[in-house]
Chains A and B, each alone.
Chain A
Amino acid sequence: MLVRIVYNLVQVAVVMTFSPLLAGVINRLKEVVQSKRGPSIFQPYRDIWKLFNKDQVFSEYSSWIFRFTPYLAFVAPIFVTLLIPVLTNYPLFFAFMGDMLGGGFVLALAGFFATLAAVDTANPYGPMGASRTRLVGFLAEPVFMIVFFTVSFVAGSTIPYIVQEQWVKPFSNFFEPAHVLIILAFFILILAEGGRIPVDNPSGHFELAMIDESKGLEYSGPAAALMKWGGEMKLFVLICILLNVLVTPWGLAQTTAPSAVLLAIPAILFKIFLFVLVLVVVESSLAKLRLFRISEFLGAAFIISVAAMISWLFAF
Chain B
Amino acid sequence: MTPVTFLPQLNALAGGLFLLCTFGMVATRQVQGCMRFFIWQSIFLAASAFLLGLHPVVWDLIGVAAINLINKPILIPWLLRKTVPGEVYTRREIDQVLNIPTSLLVSLGLAIAAYLITSPWLRIPAGPSVGVNLPIGLAAILLGAYTLTVRREAVPQLLGLLSMENGAFFTSIAIAPTLHLFIELVVAFDVLIAVFVIGVLTRAMQEHIGTTNVGSLATLKEEPRP
Q: Is B131 touching A171 in the complex (CB atoms < 8 A)?
A: no
How far does the Cβ of B30 sit from chain A's closest Cβ, in whole Å?
13
Q: Does B119 contact A (CB under 8 A)?
A: yes
Binds B, one of A103-111, A148-156, A200-208, A299-307: A299-307
Q: How far is the CA of A120 from the CA of B107 in the complex (A)?
A: 41
Residues on B with C-beta less than 8 A from A175 are: 6, 9-10, 12-13
Residue of A302, A304, A306, A310 with most chain B CB atoms under a 10 A cut-off: A310
B6 touches A315 (CB 8 A): no
Which residues of B (16-48) have their CB < 8 Å from a CB of A? 16-17, 19-20, 23-24, 27
B94 → A minimal CB distance (Å) = 12
Q: Which of B1, B6, B20, B136 has the most CB of A within 10 A?
A: B20
Are B104 and A299 closer than 8 Å at their CB atoms?
yes
Q: Is the CB of B115 within 8 A of A177?
A: no
Assess whether B101 is in contact with A307, with CB atoms less than 8 Å apart: no
Q: Is A35 an interface residue (CB 8 A)?
A: no
Distance of A295 Cα from B100 Cα, bound (Å)? 9
Q: How far is the CB of A306 from chain B (nearest CB, A)?
A: 6
Q: Tell yes or no: A240 within 8 A of B by CB.
A: no
Least CB separation from B116: chain A residue: A314
A303 touches B23 (CB 8 A): yes
Q: Is B216 an interface residue (CB 8 A)?
A: no
Contact code string A17-48 (vs B, CB < 8 Å = 1, else 0): 00000000000000000000000000000000
Identify the B interface with A (CB < 8 A): 1, 5-6, 9-10, 12-13, 15-17, 19-20, 23-24, 27, 100-101, 104-105, 107-108, 111-112, 115, 119, 131-132, 135-136
14 pairs of residues in contact across A and B, judged by CB atoms under 8 Å: A175-B10, A175-B12, A177-B12, A177-B15, A177-B16, A178-B16, A299-B105, A300-B104, A303-B27, A303-B104, A306-B112, A307-B19, A307-B20, A308-B16
Interface residues of A, Cβ cutoff 8 Å to B: 170-173, 175-178, 180-181, 295-296, 299-300, 302-304, 306-308, 310-311, 314-316
